[in-house]
Amino acid sequence: MIPTALQPYEAEVVENTVEAEGIFTLRLRFTDADLQRRYSFQPGQFNMLYLFGVGEVPISIVSDPLDEHLFDHTIRTVGRVTEGLSRLRAGDRLGIRGPYGRGWPMQAARGKDVVVVSGGLGCAPVMSVINYVTRRRGEFRHLNVVQGVKAACDLIWPDKYAVWQNQPDTSIVISADSADAGWPHHTGSVLNLFDSLTFDPANTVLMTCGPEGLMRAACQKMQTLGVAAENLWLSMERNMHCAVGQCGHCQFGGAFVCRDGPVFSYAEIGHLLGNKGV
Ligand SMILES: Cc1cc2nc3c(=O)[nH]c(=O)nc-3n(C[C@H](O)[C@H](O)[C@H](O)COP(=O)(O)OP(=O)(O)OC[C@H]3O[C@@H](n4cnc5c(N)ncnc54)[C@H](O)[C@@H]3O)c2cc1C
Ligand code: FES
């Protein structure tokens, strides 16, 4: 944890890797070696990235807490700040404050089956879960990685899925709403494939991120398969400003996503999902 919550600290780009069109990973380190040494975070937490003179955005941390001296952010270019961040090169500087928020329940998931569900173009918050479990494989039971995309061409990181597929006790389930002949995965909604996953409902944790509709449907489906609402976890996204529970920009019902989330259990927020304007 960095000492002053609202003050950005200078970090340096070590590498900017293009993952797919419009998606890139910034590998960073603080320019102050002592700060870098003391910096620690949990999977699912986020940093505020400040592109000097342009603006500041919340971005999840995808690297593993054991990765010393460096931390990674995988970012989709959608607007002014993310566009500017995509142009940074090795040696360029930016401001970082964080880590913020409540991350994934990795301690509670120990000794359990894990189901990771994501939708859309490369969902960064669950990458940190998959990295965490594969790095500590003996501490968790079966790992199910479920990825849904609209079109086959939206699937990024095919190489990573191929590597995870060869891990022990791991299932990879990928489906595209539409795909041409030759697509090696499933076609149709990923929700239709949940019955084929490997998990014991009484001993399972679901972690999901992506479009709210998909997360809600995934939680409902897991509930019908016998998993309790308090073992279903979602990572929420809201526009943010302060990131420390002061400005109200990220209000979600009675909670602030920056302070009380971004990871919530379905038991906490299930009743709010799908209600416009909450
Ligand atoms: C906790 C958290 C973690 C996040 N992690 C990641 C991540 O790991 N990788 C990543 O690429 N993005 C992540 N985001 C989303 C990212 O913060 C936004 O894409 C970014 O703020 C857009 O800024 P911009 O200036 O580039 O775009 P803007 O010009 O501000 O906006 C461009 C478009 O994106 C929409 N938008 C802006 N901010 C958000 C937001 N927070 N949620 C949904 N839509 C938004 C706007 O409504 C607009 O349509 C995260 C958001 C939150 C709240
Ligand atoms: S961003 Fe200010 S309260 Fe959450």
| Domain annotation for the chain: domains and CATH numbers | 9-100 (2.40.30.10), 106-272 (3.40.50.80)
Pocket residue to mutate for ligand 1, from 24, 62, 82, most atoms within 8 A of Cβ: 82
* pLDDT exceeds cutoff 80 at 120: no
> What pLDDT digit, counting tens, does each position of 77-94 carry?
999 999 999 999 999 999
When the pLDDT of each residue in the chain is averaged and rounded to a whole number, the result is 91
Buried b (16+ CB within 10 A) or exposed e, 117-136: bbbebbbbbbbbbbbbbbee
Nearest-CA residue for ligand 1 atom 50 is 59
Does residue 240's CB lie within 6 angstroms of at least one atom of ligand 1? yes
Look up residue 17 and give its two tokens: 């890797």
* Spatial distance between the Cα atoms of 234 and 266, rounded to a whole number of angstroms: 7
How many angstroms separate the alpha carbon of residue 156 from the centre of ligand 1?
19
> What pLDDT digit, counting tens, does each position of 100-109 carry?
999 999 999 9
How many angstroms separate the alpha carbon of residue 257 from the centre of ligand 2?
7
* Spatial distance between the Cα atoms of 105 and 43, rounded to a whole number of angstroms: 9
Q: What is the mean pLDDT of residues 7-33?
A: 93
* pLDDT exceeds cutoff 70 at 4: no
- Position 252 scores a pLDDT of 93
**Upper half-sphere CA count for residue 180 (Cβ side, 13 Å):** 3
Does residue 237's CB lie within 6 angstroms of at least one atom of ligand 1? yes
Pick from 12-21, 81-90, 147-156, 202-211: least confident: 147-156
Look up residue 175 and give its two tokens: 């489906």
Q: Determine what percent of the chain falls in helix, strand and coil, rounding each to the nearest 5.
A: 30, 35, 40
Pocket residue to mutate for ligand 1, from 18, 49, 59, most atoms within 8 A of Cβ: 59
